[in-house]
Amino acid sequence: EIVLTQSPATLSLSPGERATLSCRASQSVSSYLAWYQQKPGQAPRLLIYDASNRATGIPARFSGSGSGTDFTLTISSLEPEDFAVYYCQQRSNWPPGITFGPGTKVDIK
Amino acid sequence: QVQLQESGPGLVKPSETLSLTCTVSGGSISSYYWSWIRQPPGKGLEWIGYIYYSGSTNYNPSLKSRVTISVDTSKNQFSLKLSSVTAADTAVYYCGRLVGATTIDYWGQGTLVTVSS
């Protein structure tokens, strides 16, 4: 089973600052990596798919990069609505399945 | 706009079977994978399994012995059954559309299921 590790667990930043979130896989997942944002009491929302493609309606301040085992989600300038928990998620071919990382909470400094 | 809505009992007794249904509207259930994910209170996301519209399934190995996911294309619905539940199965259960068995692009709002006597 592929394990995803996210760092840091918590990121304390101010609006306008740049956020850099990391996701590392225990073995290569190629580019099958997605990022989701979740706010309290809400379902997760897809931000990035296939490591670097923004989902429909996602602002350009969100960007994803990486391949293989190391991935990054960058928020170029934090808006008040961006303070939330962010999860990465991979799909593996063998064993076939999906796993999520433990999440990174971005909170207001 | 595709919308998903979970439905089912919010309270299940220990050792019984949890049953949920996800109704898809605004699009056809055909030609996609459909998934169940859960989130215990205050914790992270756990993938439960997915089903293709044709009926083929794939389950989380840690839950495989207790999970059954089925699809009813005539009703545009898919369902989850989780047997022999314990308090550890208390969670918000989400259904979602899985694109290419890779990415969940649409999510239901989630439904809290509590396991308690």
Tell me the pLDDT tens digit for each residue of A26-79. 999 999 999 999 999 999 999 999 999 999 999 999 999 999 999 999 999 999
- Mind telling me how many Å the CA of A88 is from chain B's nearest CA? 10
What does the DSSP 8-state code read for residue A81?
G
- Coil, strand or helix at B87: helix
B99 vs A contacts (CB less than 8 Å): 49
| CA–CA gap between residue B51 and residue B32 (Å, rounded) | 9
Tell me the pLDDT tens digit for each residue of B27-71. 999 989 999 999 999 999 999 999 999 999 999 999 999 999 999
Q: Are B48 and B63 in contact, with CB atoms under 8 Å apart? A: yes
Q: Which pLDDT does position A62 carry in this prediction?
A: 98
Which residues numbered 54-93 in A keep a CB inside 8 Å of some CB on B?
Answer: 55, 87, 89, 91
Residue type, A45: R
Q: Which pLDDT does position A73 carry in this prediction?
A: 98
